[in-house]
Amino acid sequence: MTPDRLGHKHTLTIVDHATNYNRVYLLRNKSDAEGHLEDFVSEFERQYDTKVKMIRSDGGGEFSSTRLSRFLRNRGTLHQETEVGMSSSNGKAERFHRAVMDSVRAMLWASALPQRFWGDAVLYASYIRNYLPTRANADHASPIEALSGKRSSVSHILKFGSKWTSHIAHATKRSVKKRAEKGVVIGIDLKKKAYRVLIPRTKRVISTTHIQNIDRLDSRAVGRYMDAVDTDNTDTVEETHK
């Protein structure tokens, strides 16, 4: 896979079998996977007051280290590895990964962003899916609702590539002035509870809660949006931004 704008070449996809809640990590090297898996297990158990009883992974060497085995054994977590070359044995995660990558190709095409933004699109597509109703859960509950027991809202979800305008403070020698900036929404910053926005003028990505002059999506619109990117059969993405 062509590296994204930050040099990531691989993804680690984690799907909770019970609720279909997912988490995707971007990796520069496959060896980074075990550290992210350990972080996820620890965070998941603390945040949702639950216990990860078993992990099923493919037979790749990145999940066979002594360190990971010790980490899981100390927590009483079983580790099953599928046979090498038999990814269908871990079907739920494989199907989810394919669906996300289909969405990513269409999201990049619809936004006219370059291929190197595939990492941002992957993270945003996986985030959105946690908030959408799914037939895989009882009463079509969204994964985040099934996991937390609380109804989820999609009022904060914006289209990938949405045009954005805001006034950002810029310090000068004499004062602090606000200047209108234009940008493009490329995801959610979970640590800051903010949007990640690309500023073409500076070629920088910032995290901000200051969102103006942008169309928000209601629950039906979000569903239609994801349906559209799921069914889009675009195979190539042309790089139109330098």
The pTM is what?
0.83
Both 128 and 15 in one domain: the answer is yes
Residues 88 and 144 in one domain: yes
Residue 178, strand partner residues: 169
Distances (CA, A) of 169 to 30, 120, 123, 178, 181: 40, 25, 28, 4, 10
**CB-based burial label for 151 (10 Å; 0-12, 13-18, 19+):** exposed
Instruction: Give the residue from 152, 178, 182, 156 showing the smallest Cα distance to 167.
Output: 178
Q: Are residues 113 and 207 in the same domain?
A: no
Q: What is the pLDDT of residue 213?
A: 58
Q: Are residues 97 and 176 in the same domain?
A: no
Same domain, yes or no: 143 and 187: no
Low-confidence ranges of the chain (pLDDT < 50): 229-242
pLDDT attached to residue 1: 79
pLDDT (0 to 100) of residue 238: 29
Residue 242 lies in a domain: no
Q: Do 87 and 122 have their domain in common?
A: yes
Structural domains in the chain (count): 2
pLDDT at 173: 53
Residues 123 and 196 in one domain: no
Cα radius of gyration (the chain): 19
On whether both 31 and 132 belong to a single domain, the answer is yes
Host domain of residue 173? 163-214
Domain match, 142 and 30 both: yes
Output DSSP code: residue 56: E
156 within domain boundaries: no
Q: Where are the beta strands (DSSP E) in the chain?
A: 10-15, 22-27, 54-57, 78-81, 163-171, 176-189, 194-199, 204-208
User: C-alpha angle 94/131/56, rounded to 5°?
Assistant: 30
Domain boundary among 104, 125, 148: 148
Question: Is 219 inside a domain boundary?
Answer: no
CATH (domain of 85): 3.30.420.10
Examine residue 88 and state whether it is found in any structural domain, yes or no: yes
pLDDT of residue 239: 30
CA–CA distance, 107 with 23 (Å, rounded to integer): 19
Judgement on whether residues 100 and 176 belong to the same structural domain of the protein: no
What pLDDT does residue 172 have?
A: 56
Q: Is 79 part of a structural domain of the chain?
A: yes
Residue 158 in any domain: the answer is no
Residue 227 lies in a domain: no
**What pLDDT is recorded for position 232?**
38
Cα 108–241–110 angle (5° rounding)? 25
Say whether both 139 and 20 belong to one domain: yes
140 in a structural domain: yes
- Are 48 and 99 found together in one domain? yes
